[in-house]
């Protein structure tokens, strides 16, 4: 197979001459989508024939990124639900480097486990919101039960699955447009309402200077602060979500880095402002309770769109693993319904696994929280694996893209610091959340990451 190393320059006269002289195996200079043709079949940069429709442009991709990230909603959903309860008195990539297939295998599987646990966590949040909305209208008669949340969990999951399987080309891109609108506009509305409704606000000292007296974890202040970074990591910790849709974009090399930057920047800004707003409003929760239903509705709609985007990410991850032969029954799960532009068997398997994970909460809420809470650790470990492999091979094998940092010291520093921070915080995220701890309150993320 003839291949070409892509760059952003147009083909030269010599390139075109080589194409004409070798019509059997010709390089195709059509942006970064096709890098070679073998036996008349166009091969993309992942080494496979295109099977999915490239239906996401830059703005559609931004919608997926912001909807899956859903930063302020991820931060605020648990707080909003607790307010309602108070009222109720309650890419796997193949690499050419040595050991590349091994590192790719583990990076891909660890990333998939992280995303399937993240999907279960998000579905649980959406189900809780739906149940709390019902409970708000039936406070006098409603008796909460764990199976209510699980029934809502299953309903939300399989409605999203039906959307992805049967309406991927017609509906799914628009759900992400709607999700982006809800994240941006809904975020502004929510922040404004939360800031304006309380009749009294917390003092600057309470918001900015009361960390020590409000530290109830038992850990020293510095350790407690570092452990609290997990909340921020979970809020904006989805930078690889859109990378799993690379084969559904016309310009992935150019557009993916732009959207990742926008996702982290805008998501971080919204979450930061929202957190500050909540800090000042938290002393008058009764005023916020009056707007609980409206806030829950915004969260419900935005997280429902987020479910669709996360299911897309998770199913595409498993499909990519199957296509490279890294899963049992790979031939079955690598199949694509090209008419629907959907890896149907992989999507149905992911939904089935998520259904089973949701049932864990019926038996042990603590176990489910540990599984879903491992999302950040597992996904960041999957980021560190290729970074370490890249540095171990002299940063020679990753093809340079439009935003390449070069082979000098700057790239080494950025890669090295990224790995260092991943190791540091993943170790911290395995600490118990509070001390002294018990078997019920213990953090079992270390067991999930490295079982023995």
Q: Looking at the predicted structure, is the pLDDT value of residue 88 above 80?
A: no
Per-residue tokens: 421: 């921070």
Q: pLDDT tens digit string along 406-421?
A: 888 898 999 999 999 9
Distance CA 116, CA 379 (A): 10
Quote the pLDDT of residue 48.
Answer: 60
Backbone angles phi, psi at 329, to 5 degrees: 55, 45
What are the helix (H) ranges across 30-98? Answer: 58-69, 71-87
The mean pLDDT value for 46-53 works out to: 60
Residue with tokens 């270390």: 446
pLDDT for position 399? 74
156 touches 126 (CB < 8 A): yes
Residue-level pLDDT at 73 = 65
Mean pLDDT of the chain: 77
More confident residue, 51 or 254: 254
Average pLDDT over residues 33-51: 53
Looking at residue 155, its pLDDT comes to 96
pLDDT band at 208 (very low <50, low <70, confident <90, very high): confident
Question: Is pLDDT at 30 greater than 90 in this prediction?
Answer: no
pLDDT at 74: 62
Q: Quote the distance between the C-alpha of residue 91 and its chain's center.
A: 13
| Backbone φ, ψ for residue 145 (5° rounding) | -145, 150
pLDDT over threshold 50, residue 68: yes
- Domain spans of the chain, in order of start: 1-50, 55-374
Spatial distance between the Cα atoms of 322 and 329, rounded to a whole number of angstroms: 8
Share of the chain above pLDDT 90, in %: 17
337 φ, ψ (degrees, to nearest 5): -85, 95
Using CB atoms within 10 A of its CB, is residue 213 exposed (0-12), middle (13-18) or buried (19+)? Answer: exposed
Burial class (CB in 10 A: 0-12, 13-18, 19+), 38: middle
Asked if residue 72 lies in contact with residue 183, where contact means CB atoms within 8 angstroms, the answer is: yes
List phi, psi (to 5°) of 429: -70, -10
If you ran DSSP here, which 8-state letter would residue 324 be given?
T
For residues 75 and 67, give the distance between their C-alpha atoms in angstroms, rounded to a whole number: 14
The mean pLDDT value for 82-111 works out to 58
Helix (H) or strand (E) holding 36: strand 34-38
Helix 58-69 to helix 172-196 angle, to the nearest 10 degrees?
A: 50
How distant is the alpha carbon of residue 345 from its chain centre?
21
Q: Give the whole-angstrom CA distance, residue 173 versus residue 151.
A: 27
pLDDT band at 75 (very low <50, low <70, confident <90, very high): low
φ/ψ region of 325 (left if φ > 0, alpha if ψ in -120 to 50, else beta) reads left
pLDDT of residue 296: 81
Tell which wins on pLDDT, 247 or 389. Answer: 389
Q: Which residues of 73-108 are buried (b: 16+ CB within 10 A; e: fewer)?
A: bbbbbebbbebbeebeeebbbebebeebeebbbebb
**Cis link prior to 228 (omega < 30° from 0)?**
no
- At 42, is the secondary structure helix, strand, or coil? strand
- Tell me the pLDDT tens digit for each residue of 330-370: 999 999 888 888 899 999 999 999 999 999 999 888 788 88
147 φ, ψ (degrees, to nearest 5)? -70, -20
Cα separation values, 262 from 137, 144, 347, Å: 38, 40, 28
- What is the DSSP code (8-state) at residue 423? H
Scanning the structure block, which residue is given the tokens 């295109």? 50
The yes-or-no verdict on residue 158 having pLDDT over 90 is yes
Contact 304, 128 (CB under 8 A): no
pLDDT given for residue 97 in this prediction: 45
Q: Is 238 helix (H, G, I), strand (E, B) or coil?
A: coil
Summarize the confidence of residues 211-232 as an average pLDDT.
Answer: 82
Average pLDDT over residues 309-316: 89
Q: Is the pLDDT at 54 greater than 60, yes or no?
A: yes
- Residue 25: per-residue pLDDT: 34
Q: Among the residues of 327-408, which ranges form H helices?
A: 330-333, 344-363, 365-373, 375-392
Q: Which two tokens stand for residue 218?
A: 């038992």
Q: How many CB atoms lie within 10 A of CB 170?
A: 11
């Amino acid at each position: 197979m003839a291949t070409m190393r892509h760059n952003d320059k147009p083909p030269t006269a010599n390139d075109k001459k080589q194409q004409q002289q070798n019509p059997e195996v010709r390089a195709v200079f059509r942006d970064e989508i096709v890098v070679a043709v073998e036996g008349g079949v166009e091969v993309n940069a992942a080494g496979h024939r295109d099977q999915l429709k490239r239906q996401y442009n830059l703005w559609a991709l931004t919608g997926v990124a912001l909807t899956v990230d859903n930063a302020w909603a991820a931060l605020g959903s648990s707080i909003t639900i607790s307010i309602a309860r108070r009222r109720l008195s309650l890419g796997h990539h193949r690499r050419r480097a040595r050991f590349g297939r091994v590192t790719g295998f583990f990076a891909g599987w660890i990333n998939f486990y992280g995303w399937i646990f993240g999907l279960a966590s998000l579905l649980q949040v959406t189900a809780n919101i739906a149940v709390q909305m019902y409970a708000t209208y039936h406070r006098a008669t409603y008796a909460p039960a764990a199976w209510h949340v699980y029934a809502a969990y299953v309903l939300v999951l399989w409605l999203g699955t039906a959307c992805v399987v049967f309406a991927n080309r017609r509906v799914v891109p628009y759900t992400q447009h709607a999700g982006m609108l809800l994240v941006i506009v809904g975020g502004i509305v929510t922040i404004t309402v939360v800031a304006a409704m309380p009749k009294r606000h917390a003092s600057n000292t309470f918001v900015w200077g009361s960390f020590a007296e409000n530290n109830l974890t038992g850990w020293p202040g510095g350790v407690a602060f570092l452990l609290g970074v997990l909340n921020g990591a979970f809020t904006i910790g989805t930078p690889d979500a859109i990378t799993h849709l690379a084969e559904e974009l016309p310009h992935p090399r150019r557009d993916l880095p732009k959207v990742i930057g926008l996702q982290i920047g805008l998501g971080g800004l919204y979450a930061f402002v929202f957190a500050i707003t909540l800090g000042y409003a938290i002393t008058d929760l009764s005023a916020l309770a009056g707007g609980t239903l409206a806030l829950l509705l915004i969260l419900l709609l935005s997280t429902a769109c987020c479910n669709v985007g996360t299911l897309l990410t998770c199913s595409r991850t498993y499909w990519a693993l199957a296509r490279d032969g890294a899963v049992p029954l790979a031939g079955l799960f690598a199949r694509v319904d090209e008419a629907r532009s959907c890896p149907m068997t992989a999507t149905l398997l992911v939904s089935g696994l998520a259904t089973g994970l949701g049932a864990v909460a019926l038996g042990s809420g603590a176990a489910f929280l540990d599984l879903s809470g491992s999302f950040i650790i597992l996904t960041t470990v999957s980021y560190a694996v290729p970074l370490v492999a890249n540095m171990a091979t002299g940063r020679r094998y990753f093809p340079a893209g439009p935003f390449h940092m070069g082979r000098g010291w700057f790239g080494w520093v950025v890669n090295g610091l990224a790995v260092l921070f991943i190791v540091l915080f993943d170790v911290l995220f395995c600490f118990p959340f509070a001390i002294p701890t018990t078997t019920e309150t213990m953090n079992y993320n270390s067991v999930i990451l490295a079982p023995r």
